Amino acid sequence: MDARLGDTHVRFRQEVRAFLDRELTGDIREGARRQAGIAADPSVGVAWQKKLNAHGWGAPAWPKEYGGTGWDAAQRQIFDEECIRAGAPSVWVSGLQLLGPVVMRFGTSEQKAFFLPRILDSEHYWAQGFSEPGSGSDLASLQMPAVRDGDDYVVSGTKIWTSHAHWANWIFLLVRTEKTANKRDGITFMVTPADAPGITVQPIISMSGEHETNQVFFDNVRIPVRYRIGAEGQGWDIAKYLLEFERSGAYAALSQSYLDIARRNARIPDPVTGERLWDDPCFRRDYADAQLRVTAQSWTEKRVISALSSGKNAGDALASILKVRGTEAQQASFEVSVTSLGAFGMADQREALRPGSNTPPIGPEGALQPTARHLNGRAASIYGGSNEIQRNILFRFIADGRIP
């Protein structure tokens, strides 16, 4: 692989830096500094997405014909790295990363014309209604029935762990339109406005104290047939396509930023004893372990990009490998960053993390986020298909010879 950047990409990096210097203004930067979950609070994330979109950078991964940037894989990685380095907020991905590609591939021309511009502009804020109580890893066992009645489907039941549903104004769903011998055959993909009569959202508070996920109840909700994406019974194929986008992702840059926090803090001498955590062999072992994982992940991500940029297929197994190794590297780096804070790692910073809060953060520079990130990041090896399930997938690749 050739991981060197050519002149075009070096110039592109400068262009991104100049844009971030100019556009990442005080409020947005401050809001991002308080982000502890997977995405910024919508008050910050939506404002940032609108700025990106106004500049033509709203959808780095989308093709140009749908309003995307048309960037190559290396440009996308550079953009991600620079955004993390500059402290830009992470934009909520359900619309951009998951639903957008589905609409492009399976939607009608009316659906494309209606949904895609509204996703780009964040006018539609999407939640993903796939999991149900009892149907997570075994997603195809989902039960929520949708019964055709004239020009509508009538949907009743419940979805769980629905992230950001309390902010979303639209939800995409997998529902069961038929009970078939093969449970994958009777599943259909549809979307609904989140304020449709009969929908209620109940919060689930995570161990980091955040409200990110919800249980959503559907009581005879009428969903017009025009909001079905693809054919009746095609939902499983659509879900598999969507999940490829959920699993591929860049983990190394964010993980490295937390290792940088750890290195900085561990070198600050204790005010009483003068000792530095950096000189503690146990800390150094954990730090080195996390750094090795993150460096390896970074090279795997570069390898994928190098393959994609030269038009090669990166390999089917890579989405699973990136997810397993990426989330584990990230969890290790978050954990080390908490350890580096010593007693400050135990401080309850929930109030200081609230957007708009004037409660000052406790502890040294960079002490605000690590504990919340660490607690929040435990879920990364569960959502998007748990790491155990990814290992099962990898085993199947090995068993049938697709991975030597």
Ligand X SMILES: Cc1cc2nc3c(=O)[nH]c(=O)nc-3n(C[C@H](O)[C@H](O)[C@H](O)COP(=O)(O)OP(=O)(O)OC[C@H]3O[C@@H](n4cnc5c(N)ncnc54)[C@H](O)[C@@H]3O)c2cc1C
Which residues are tagged catalytic? 246
Q: How far is the CB of 382 from ligand X (least distance, A)?
A: 4
Nearest to 119 by CA among 195, 68, 194: 68
Q: How far is the CB of 190 from ligand X (least distance, A)?
A: 14
Binding test (CB under 6 A) with ligand X, winner from 47, 382, 394, 403:
382
Closer Cβ to ligand X, 367 or 379, answer by number: 379
The interface with ligand X within residues 142-171 (CB under 6 A) comprises 161-163
The interface with ligand X within residues 210-269 (CB under 6 A) comprises 213
Residue 389 as a binder of ligand X (CB under 6 A): the answer is yes
Binding test (CB under 6 A) with ligand X, winner from 62, 115, 125, 130:
130
The amino acid occupying position 339 is: T
Residue 379 as a binder of ligand X (CB under 6 A): the answer is yes
Q: How far is the CB of 7 from ligand X (least distance, A)?
A: 41
C-alpha to C-alpha distance for 68 and 71, rounded to whole angstroms: 8
Closer Cβ to ligand X, 251 or 344, answer by number: 251
Closer Cβ to ligand X, 97 or 128, answer by number: 128
Closer Cβ to ligand X, 43 or 386, answer by number: 386
Q: How far is the CB of 39 from ligand X (least distance, A)?
A: 11
Closer Cβ to ligand X, 136 or 186, answer by number: 136
Number of residues that bind ligand X (CB under 6 A): 18
Residue 131 as a binder of ligand X (CB under 6 A): the answer is yes
Q: How far is the CB of 173 from ligand X (least distance, A)?
A: 9
**Cβ contact 275:269 at 8 Å:** yes
- Count the alpha carbons within 13 Å of 60 in the hemisphere toward its beta carbon: 17
Beta sheet of 126-129, edge-to-edge order = 126-129, 170-176, 187-193, 228-229
Residue 388 as a binder of ligand X (CB under 6 A): the answer is yes
Give, as one character, the DSSP assignment of residue 107: -
The interface with ligand X within residues 90-119 (CB under 6 A) comprises none
Residue 386 as a binder of ligand X (CB under 6 A): the answer is yes
SS3 category, 249: coil
SS3 category, 119: helix
Q: How far is the CB of 156 from ligand X (least distance, A)?
A: 17
Residue 291 as a binder of ligand X (CB under 6 A): the answer is no
Beta sheet of 146-149, edge-to-edge order = 146-149, 152-160, 211-224, 199-205
Closer Cβ to ligand X, 73 or 216, answer by number: 216
Measured CA to CA in angstroms, residue 134 lies from 131, 140, 144, 160 at distances of 8, 11, 12, 10
**Cβ contact 96:116 at 8 Å:** no
Sign of the CA dihedral with 328 first, then 334, 340, and 342 last: negative
Q: How far is the CB of 303 from ligand X (least distance, A)?
A: 27
Binding test (CB under 6 A) with ligand X, winner from 392, 395, 398, 402:
392
The interface with ligand X within residues 303-322 (CB under 6 A) comprises none
What residues have CB less than 8 Å from 293, skipping those under 6 apart? 255, 325, 328, 329, 332, 333
The angle subtended at Cα 151 by Cα 146 and Cα 152, nearest 5°, is 30
Structure tokens at 48: 């940032």
Binding test (CB under 6 A) with ligand X, winner from 137, 141, 180, 200:
137
Closer Cβ to ligand X, 12 or 92, answer by number: 92
C-alpha to C-alpha distance for 188 and 178, rounded to whole angstroms: 9
**Cβ contact 191:170 at 8 Å:** yes
C-alpha to C-alpha distance for 327 and 300, rounded to whole angstroms: 13
Binding test (CB under 6 A) with ligand X, winner from 122, 128, 297, 327:
128
Which parts of this chain interact with ligand X (CB under 6 A)?
Answer: 128-131, 136-137, 161-163, 213, 379, 382-383, 385-386, 388-389, 392
